[in-house]
């Protein structure tokens, strides 16, 4: 089989591949540090058993679902108490309950959200309305 115009096509393909993979070359050796959400807030440090409403793994993957369920129950069904599987009762509120312990929004929420490209105050847009606790930066 014979290739016509190979002199133009092959360099063209190489240049094209180079352009397409440019983002990889551009970021080579400049890895963004992995997120490291901190839970060393005063309230959490005082807790004898450091336990969130669900186990850590479930919270990590499913907190958005949990928050959405909380919103539905509180706003639409008027139920405001969450009874966890261990029987502990929580007041379902992002602003008043989650942030009571996790009072370090920039170190806790934003760490992962920024890493995942969910930029500060655009996605997820919790904080356009909900008021984040004051932090000493």
Partner 1 sequence: MESNRRSFLKISGICALGLGALPVVDVLATSGQPQFLPNQKALVGKKWAMVVDMKKCWEKGKEGCKECLLACHRVHNVPDIGNIKEEIKWIWTEPYADAFPGQENEYNAANIKGRPFIVLCNHCTNPPCVRVCPTKATFKREDGIVMMDMHRCIGCRFCMAGCPYGSRSFNFRDPAPYIKEDELNKDYPRRERGVVEKCTFCTERLAEGKIPACVEACKCGALCFGDLEDPNSAVRKLLASHYTIQRKPELGTGPNVYYIV
Of 16 and 119, which has the nearer Cβ to partner 1?
119
What is d(CA 50, CA 87) in angstroms, rounded to the nearest whole number?
A: 15
What is d(CA 53, CA 66) in angstroms, rounded to the nearest whole number?
A: 10
Of 18 and 62, which has the nearer Cβ to partner 1?
62
Which residues are CB-contacts of 25 (< 8 A; sequence separation ≥ 6)?
Answer: 18
How far does Cα 34 stand from its chain's mean position? 12
Helix (H) or strand (E) holding 7: helix 6-20
Measured from the CB of residue 71, what is the shortest distance to partner 1 in angstroms?
6
Of 23 and 87, which has the nearer Cβ to partner 1?
87
Measured from the CB of residue 42, what is the shortest distance to partner 1 in angstroms?
17
Q: List residues near partner 1 by CB under 8 A.
A: 53-54, 71, 73, 75-85, 89, 92, 95-96, 125, 128-131, 133
Measured from the CB of residue 124, what is the shortest distance to partner 1 in angstroms?
11
């Amino acid at each position: 089989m014979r290739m016509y115009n190979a002199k133009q096509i092959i360099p063209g393909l190489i240049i094209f591949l180079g352009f397409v993979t440019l983002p990889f070359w551009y970021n080579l050796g400049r890895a963004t540090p992995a997120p490291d959400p901190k839970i060393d807030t005063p309230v959490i440090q005082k807790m004898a058993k450091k336990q969130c409403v669900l186990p850590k793994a479930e919270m990590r993957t499913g907190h958005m679902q949990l928050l959405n369920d909380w919103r539905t129950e509180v706003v639409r069904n008027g139920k405001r108490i969450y009874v966890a599987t261990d029987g502990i009762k929580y007041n379902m509120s992002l602003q008043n309950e989650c942030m009571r312990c996790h009072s370090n929004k920039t170190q806790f929420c934003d760490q992962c959200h920024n890493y995942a490209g969910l930029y500060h105050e655009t996605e997820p847009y919790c904080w356009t309305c909900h008021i984040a606790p004051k932090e000493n930066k």
